[in-house]
Chains A and B, each alone.
Chain A
Amino acid sequence: MNRILIVAEHDGARVNPAIAKCVTCARAIPDAEVTLAVFAADPATVAASAAAIAGVDRVVTVTHAAHANPLAAAIAPQLAELAAGYSHVFGPSTTFGKDLMPRVAALLDSAQVSDLMAVESATRFRRPIYASNAIVTVESSAGAKVVATVRIASFEAAGVSVAPAPIEAAVVSATPDTHTRFVSVSSARSDRPDLQTAAKVVSGGRALASAENFGILFKLADKMGAAVGASRAAVDAGYAANDMQVGQTGKIIAPQLYLAFGISGAIQHLTGIKDARTIVAVNKDPEAPIFEVADIGLVGDLFQVVPEIERLLDRPG
């Protein structure tokens, strides 16, 4: 049997939607038994939301005041201890998972499979390299523990379970390191859907020309119930917040619909949207590389097209 332990990222109230995708990935491994581990100061409600994910066999909780805010230094020694007896240890390819999992891998003297995108067997996986311009198949050595971050854009979310999985408190002796202290987190959180899990994303590039102009995209996004993203160029220019960046070094997303306005389509950006179901591109430049990957392309001025789309959406089709 393959025993898979997944660290259940959460916001203090419920597990991150990325975890249901990690469960799907874990279930792709033959003969899998899936355990979610919740590290929290008060894990009850989070554990309940974890137990409700279909395909989860068991939820274990580790309660410690140090987990009031998720810190890799605090979680890693306890997760590494918990990993004994498991063949695979997974985390999501979110900033939380990317920060934590290599620290756990090193404590376990294991390699890590970063951005696991497909399971070929219990020891053989596919992952993207060179900004997704190549896909490498890797084989881990027999008997070695597999530590991985799961590329969440590659997996559908597992559904809701009819019978919640059992929840138990784990006993760990490792104490969280105290050399790392949480100070604060500031987020531009809004009522808009989360960029990483949104079904629709409206995104803008340097052509928006100012932070104020990004307002027209927010307006369109609100009409469509979409999240708002941005190219690196737009973020670097200060038109959009850092956490809106889509691409190789930003967020990798897989929405049903991605609308790119004034984004030329640098390779590093395309890496972030390759798994989008439908890509729509609006750009003044007919030679823009984004048109090579767009399902629907329109050569035009976004400042005219965006308000027009918004107006047309109001009219029944």
Chain B
Amino acid sequence: MKRILVPIKRVVDYNVRIRVKPDGSGVITDGVKMSINPFDEIALEEALRIKEKGLADEVLAVSIGPADCQQQLRTALAMGADRAILVQTDAVVEPLDVARMLRTICDRESVFLAILGKQAIDDDCSQTGQMLAALWGRPQATFASKVEIDGAVARVTREVDAGLETLEIDLPAVITTDLRLNEPRYVKLPDIMKAKKKPLDTVDTASLGVTPVERLKAVKFDPPPQRTKGIMVKDAQELVDALRRKGLA
């Protein structure tokens, strides 16, 4: 059984305008729209495409978090994942502990490829995939814009500062997705109905041998410093004059 693991994170939807709570204890998440982290959707899409090419047998979606994560897992199942596991916890789970849990799942489920989003758009950490690869002792190809599976290896093109880098990695391996890897499919109504019958198991963190630890304590949250609104000019001449006054042209 060739199984692909795709972790799914429930995050505040990218269209929501984030506001910090007045007391600095966090950001306001009550009543805001929650979605699958967009990069995870890209990861799932890539996994489905690999399976549809006959290069994998099963796509397993895993989410770690509160019971509400079931909504995002159902969406993942509707997109085409074969089954899902929710590791249910109300604790703050840092990337290292997420990676430790995923590592256990990779072993138990004989995963040959883990595809993750390159970052979550809430904490913007960009750590979990690399940490999973380290704990698993397997290759990583981060920020992927192209993935080709060829037997026991994958060729992955990565978006790096200098341009595009291609790596060859032995499987099993971890890949993290950049924006332009693919365009995730839309979920159709019949798929949502079908997804309700797909298996979604719930386990706790202890069953994966991990007790989440807060290694980095969030002390306080602040709104970012605001830029003050500048001047409007009426034409290119005024614009260039303004730049010259600032010594920038």
Name the interface residues of A115-147: CB closer than 8 Å to any CB of B: 115, 124, 128-141, 144
Q: Which of A136, A278, A291 has the most CB of B within 10 A?
A: A136
Q: Given the interface contacts A139-B217, A292-B229, does A189 sit within 8 Å of B163 by beta carbon?
A: yes
Residue contact A130 to B12, C-beta cutoff 8 Å: yes
**B96 at the A interface (CB under 8 A):** yes
Q: With A296-B233, A300-B235, A309-B236 in contact, is A109–B167 under 8 Å at CB?
A: no
Once A and B bind, how many residue pairs between them come within 8 Å at the CB atom? 259
Q: Is the CB of B224 within 8 A of A135?
A: yes
CA distance A279 to B165 in the complex (A): 32
- What's the nearest-Cβ distance from chain B to residue A123, in Å? 10
- Closest CB of chain A to B164's CB: distance in Å? 5
Q: Which of A24-32, A100-108, A204-212 contacts B (4 or more CB under 8 A)?
A: A100-108
B189 contacts the other chain (CB 8 A): no
Report chain A residues within 8 Å CB of B122. 129-130
CB contacts under 8 Å to B, within A49-80, are 71-73, 76
Q: Judging by beta carbons under 8 Å apart, are B244 and A298 in contact?
A: no
Q: Does A114 contact B (CB under 8 A)?
A: yes
Cα-based distance from A254 to B31 in the complex (angstroms): 35
For B205-236 the 0/1 string (1 means CB < 8 A from A) is: 00000000001111111111001011111111
Cβ contact within 8 Å between A295 and B231: yes
- A309, B239: Cβ atoms closer than 8 Å: yes
Which residues of the other chain, A, contact B197 by a CB distance below 8 angstroms?
Answer: none
The CA of A103 and the CA of B132, in the complex, are separated in Å by: 8
A53 smallest CB distance to B (angstroms): 20
Contact A248/B163 with A128-B224, A279-B227 known, Cβ cut-off 8 Å: no
Do A256 and B248 touch (CB < 8 A)? yes
Report whether B230 and A111 are in contact in the complex, using a CB–CB cutoff of 8 Å.
no
Is A162 engaged at the interface, CB distance under 8 Å to the other chain? Answer: no
| A232 at the B interface (CB under 8 A) | yes
Q: Determine the distance from Cα of A114 to Cα of B243 in the docked complex, in whole angstroms.
A: 35
- Interface flag for A216 (CB, 8 Å): no
A112 to B237, Cβ gap below 8 A?
Answer: no
Does B188 belong to the interface (CB within 8 Å)?
A: no
Residues of chain A with a CB closer than 8 A to B128's CB: 102
Is there an interface contact between A111 and B215, defined as CB atoms closer than 8 Å? Answer: yes
By a CB distance below 8 angstroms, the chain B residues around A256 are 248
Task: Give Cα A76 to B194, complex, Å.
Answer: 44
Q: Produce 1/0 per residue, A178-216, CB < 8 A to B.
A: 011111111111000000100010000000000000000
B133 lies within 8 A of chain A by Cβ:
yes
A280–B139 touching, CB < 8 Å? no
By a CB distance below 8 angstroms, the chain B residues around A236 are: 179-180
Given contacts A95-B161, A309-B236, contact A248 B121 (CB under 8 A): yes
User: Nearest-CB distance from B174 to chain A (Å)?
Assistant: 10
A144 to B217, CA, bound (A): 12
| Contact for A102 among B126, B165, B217, CB less than 8 A | B126
Q: Which single residue of chain A is at the shortest CB-CB distance from B232? A: A297
Distance in angstroms from B43 CB to nearest chain A CB is 14
- Residues on B with C-beta less than 8 A from A179 are 138-139, 169-170, 173
B167 touches A297 (CB 8 A): no
Known A106-B135, A236-B180: A134·B222 in contact at CB below 8 Å: yes
Query: A251: CB under 8 A from chain B?
Result: yes
Contact between B234 and A298, CB atoms less than 8 A apart: yes
Asked if B231 contacts A185 (CB within 8 A), the reply is: no
Q: Is the CB of A183 within 8 A of B167?
A: yes
Chain A residues with CB below 8 A from B12, complex form: 130
Is the beta-carbon distance between B215 and A312 smaller than 8 angstroms? no
Shortest Cβ distance from residue B116 to the other chain A in the assembled complex, whole angstroms? 11
> Is the beta-carbon distance between B162 and A189 smaller than 8 angstroms?
yes
User: A129 and B123: CB pair below 8 A?
Assistant: yes
Q: Is the beta-carbon distance between B180 and A141 smaller than 8 angstroms?
A: no
Q: CA separation between A142 and B240, bound complex, in Å?
A: 53
Q: Evaluate contact between A249 and B231: CB separation under 8 angstroms.
A: no
Residue-wise, chain B 86-106 has the 8 Å CB interface mask toward A (1 for contact) of: 000000001110010000000
Query: Would A297 and B130 be within 8 Å (CB), given that A134-B223, A139-B219, A312-B240 are in contact?
Result: no
A99/B134 in contact, CB under 8 A = no
Across the interface, which residues of B come within 8 angstroms of A309, CB to CB? Answer: 236, 239-240
Min distance, Cβ A119 to any Cβ of chain B, angstroms: 14
| Contacting residues of chain A (268-313) with chain B, CB-CB under 8 angstroms | 268, 274, 278-280, 282, 291-300, 304-305, 308-309, 312-313
| Chain B, range 114-161, C-beta contacts under 8 Å to A | 118-119, 121-135, 137-143, 145, 155, 158-161
Question: In the complex the two chains form, is A243's CB within 8 Å of B163's CB?
Answer: yes
B169 near A183 with CB under 8 A, answer no
Chain B contacts of A293 at CB under 8 A? 227, 229
Is A34 at the interface (CB under 8 A from chain B)? Answer: no
Q: Is the Cβ of B220 less than 8 Å from the Cβ of A136?
A: yes
| Sampled A-B contacts (27; CB under 8 Å) | A95-B158, A96-B161, A98-B142, A106-B99, A131-B18, A133-B18, A133-B27, A135-B222, A136-B218, A140-B217, A182-B165, A189-B163, A196-B161, A242-B145, A243-B161, A243-B164, A249-B119, A257-B243, A291-B229, A292-B229, A296-B230, A297-B231, A298-B239, A300-B236, A304-B236, A308-B237, A313-B240
User: What 4 new A-B contacts, CB under 8 Å, besides A113-B216, A279-B227, A309-B240?
Assistant: A95-B158, A104-B134, A295-B230, A305-B235
